[in-house]
Amino acid sequence: MGSSMTEQDLRNRISDVREGRLSRRAFVRQMAALGLSAPMAGTMLAHGGVAFADATLAYKPTKAGGGGVLKLLLWQAPTLLNPHFASGTKDQIASRIFFEPLAGWDKEGNLIAQLAAETPSRTNGGLSADGKEVTWKLKRNVRWHDGQPFTADDVVFTWQYAADPATAAYTTGSYANIKVEKIDDHTVKVVFKEPTPFWADPFVGAFGCILPKHHFGDYAGAKSRDAPANLKPVGTGPYKFLDFKPGDIITGERNADYHVPSQPFFDRIEVKGGGDAVSAARAVLQSGEYDYAWNLQVEDEILKRMETGGKGKISAVVSGDIEFIILNTTDPDVEVDGERSSIKTKHPTLSDPKVREAMNLLLDRDSIEKFIYGRGGLATASFVNEPKQFKSKTLKYEFSVDKANKILDEAGYKRGQDGVREKDGKKLKYVFQTSINAPRQKTQAIIKQACQRAGIDLELKSVTAAVFFSSDVGNPDTYIKLYCDMEMYTTTQPQPDPEVFLNQSNSWQIANKENKWLGRNVARFSDPAADDAYKAAQKELDPAKRAELLIKVNDLFCRSNTILPLISRTRVVAAASSLMHDHSGWDVDTWNVAAWYRA
């Protein structure tokens, strides 16, 4: 495998680390994938002029407790505390305080053992050569909050629980096609049907929390929603459950038996819900009522002004989330077999690649980044942006009204009396929808103005977020229905790997009436070449070849101009100045809440 990386590549990567474009840990991980040990990779970096460093939050307190109350503010209130029913991040964040997975993802995309004794690798025998088996060694001496020991039985039970369709777990996709065997009390083996290069999905991160068999054992299957523990969690986490008022507040107290020595620092934890993003930022940065507020899609200018008070600071970490626009190539005004925007129809003008190419030139991404998102994201032309080894090197963006005009002129779209272009009686008039959120409405206004100068008329539409992002089949205004000419939203990348994320380009994932619009491909994109590359990548164990295949999928997806990537988003949070916290773009915010402390 070493041959797939040239010496020049290696030198480039070392200089990437030196200049901060690539993290040290990510470099070490890449080298490990090529068969080099971590100390050796570290040595290479040291030779390249990069000092040794530990990037995760260093834990300073020498004993547990004594930290007082930690107050978190989630402007969407949690409504349930079972991590396997948690469909929204708000519920995942709340349940992660009490439950833990075998391993979580840190902000640089490193897999960090939590309930596992170590993360599986080829060297420690955790990963089989054929890519079909993963063996997890569990941490010993871990106790549930009620004093019962944590064992392999709990892990096997969690798989049975989540895989059972009758349980109707949100996480079922990660467990349905695997087998889990107990080797001994502290070892389990996960068996995949096919070689699976991205194996760190079951029992890992947001979908991986382990449930206690002795509390949920009687409630697997159809009775799952009746379990008392759904609202009164008993986990292994750093805080023990005290009280929960759904939609309002959660309180917990320090778990004196926590399995990491001298953690956690705080005596109590409070998670308050409600409000909106701007008022949440204010409650941390200006009034200092709370220690931490999450998911702040707020114009950076506003955040900067709030920060000047000195009570708190903004922290942004990279993620794979992408704010993008879908150009609908199907017809949203024609109904076929009970659905609009069906792939059996063609959009009168947006099905023309020339029009889509012109639209891509009319997005002033640099201004959107500079004047709206700031630290909240980077302008991009690529759907996949993280981790860096999966980012396309060839996709570039440009803003040019002149070029767009030229393309449209050449394609035969003539300006009418009202200044709007048309061809064969079909006007370039589009409905452009998104959710209600100040940064998005500003972006819409910027795009509308550029389009106007190119003879394209946009009608802006904004839908309240609760409706736009719901999966309600009866509602015509949801983003999955795509009953408009173009729409804009952010899609989140759940893992530091783009494979699952890129299923949004699979032709078999196209959202339609039959799959209740739950198919992941909202853009209705379809290209056999992209499908083939994707299928090949799913089985490719060579990391370099696999990355190449996934980049090819991404490039075909983006070059079709069916989707127009805008901003590679970061996850932005506000925290009190004294709070040392550790949030990640690859896992839920509270993934490492045990290690938070006040300086």
Partner 1 sequence: MAPARVRVPASPMRQTWRRFARHRLAVASACLLAILMLGVILGPLLWRVRIDDIDFAATLQGPSAAHPFGTDDLGQDLLARMIYGGRISLAVGFAAMLVATLVGIVVGSVAGMSRRLVDPALMWVTDLFLSLPQLPLLLLIIYLFRDRLKALFGVEGGIFVMIVAVIGGLRWMPVARLVRAQFLSLREKEFVEAARALGASRWEQVVGHILPNALGPVIVASTIEVSAAIIAESTLSFLGLGFPPDIPTWGRILFDAKDHLDVAPHWALFAGAAIFLTVLSINFIGDGLRDALDPRRIG
The site for partner 1 (CB under 8 A) is made up of 278, 298-299, 301-302, 305, 367, 370-371, 436, 438, 441-442, 444-446, 448-449, 452, 459-464, 467, 476
DSSP one-letter string for 60-94: --SSS----EEEEEESS------TTT--SHHHHHH
User: What's the token pair of residue 389?
Assistant: 């080894």
Whole-number minimum distance, CB 460 to partner 1, in Å?
A: 5
**Strands, DSSP E only, in 328-363?**
none
Whole-number minimum distance, CB 33 to partner 1, in Å?
A: 44
User: What's the token pair of residue 538?
Assistant: 């799913």
What Å distances lie between residue 254 and 143, 145, 239, 592, CA to CA? 14, 10, 5, 15
CA 444, CA 455: separation in Å to the nearest integer? Answer: 16
- Do 421 and 432 meet the contact criterion of CB atoms below 8 Å apart? no
Measured from the CB atom, is 127 or 460 closer to partner 1? 460
Return the closest-CA partner of residue 189 out of 151, 140, 134. Answer: 134
Whole-number minimum distance, CB 441 to partner 1, in Å?
A: 5
Measured from the CB atom, is 245 or 370 closer to partner 1? 370
Whole-number minimum distance, CB 371 to partner 1, in Å?
A: 5
Whole-number minimum distance, CB 537 to partner 1, in Å?
A: 39
- Do 329 and 351 meet the contact criterion of CB atoms below 8 Å apart? yes
**Which residue is listed with tokens 């198919």?**
519
User: What's the token pair of residue 587?
Assistant: 């896992």
Whole-number minimum distance, CB 246 to partner 1, in Å?
A: 22
Residue type, 454: A
**Which residue is listed with tokens 């090197």?**
393
**Which residue is listed with tokens 């150009």?**
327
- Helix ranges (DSSP H) in 262-316: 277-285, 300-307
Measured from the CB atom, is 428 or 594 closer to partner 1? 428
User: What's the token pair of residue 414?
Assistant: 């003539």
Measured from the CB atom, is 198 or 371 closer to partner 1? 371
Whole-number minimum distance, CB 298 to partner 1, in Å?
A: 8
Whole-number minimum distance, CB 418 to partner 1, in Å?
A: 12
- Count of Cβ atoms closer than 10 Å to residue 412 Cβ: 12
CA 429, CA 57: separation in Å to the nearest integer? Answer: 51
Whole-number minimum distance, CB 314 to partner 1, in Å?
A: 16
Q: 568 in helix, strand or coil?
A: strand
Measured from the CB atom, is 442 or 559 closer to partner 1? 442
Is 513 exposed, middle or buried, given 0-12, 13-18 or 19+ CB atoms closer than 10 A? middle
Q: 415 in helix, strand or coil?
A: strand
Whole-number minimum distance, CB 517 to partner 1, in Å?
A: 17
User: What's the token pair of residue 282?
Assistant: 């204010």
Measured from the CB atom, is 277 or 549 closer to partner 1? 277
Q: Which residues contact 337 (CB under 8 A, 6 or more apart)?
A: 344, 513
- Do 562 and 523 meet the contact criterion of CB atoms below 8 Å apart? yes
- Count of Cβ atoms closer than 10 Å to residue 189 Cβ: 17
Measured from the CB atom, is 448 or 513 closer to partner 1? 448
User: What's the token pair of residue 469?
Assistant: 């992002």
Measured from the CB atom, is 283 or 502 closer to partner 1? 283
- Do 458 and 405 meet the contact criterion of CB atoms below 8 Å apart? no
Whole-number minimum distance, CB 324 to partner 1, in Å?
A: 19
Measured from the CB atom, is 372 or 593 closer to partner 1? 372
Measured from the CB atom, is 302 or 576 closer to partner 1? 302
CA 442, CA 453: separation in Å to the nearest integer? Answer: 17
What Å distances lie between residue 190 and 113, 137, 159, 540, CA to CA? 16, 11, 10, 19
Q: How would you label 44-80 residue by residue, b for 16+ Cβ within 10 Å and e otherwise?
A: bbeebebeeeeeebebebeebeebeebbbbbbbbbbb
Measured from the CB atom, is 82 or 444 closer to partner 1? 444
Measured from the CB atom, is 269 or 372 closer to partner 1? 372
Whole-number minimum distance, CB 395 to partner 1, in Å?
A: 26
Measured from the CB atom, is 282 or 571 closer to partner 1? 282
Whole-number minimum distance, CB 425 to partner 1, in Å?
A: 17
Measured from the CB atom, is 371 or 399 closer to partner 1? 371
Whole-number minimum distance, CB 485 to partner 1, in Å?
A: 13
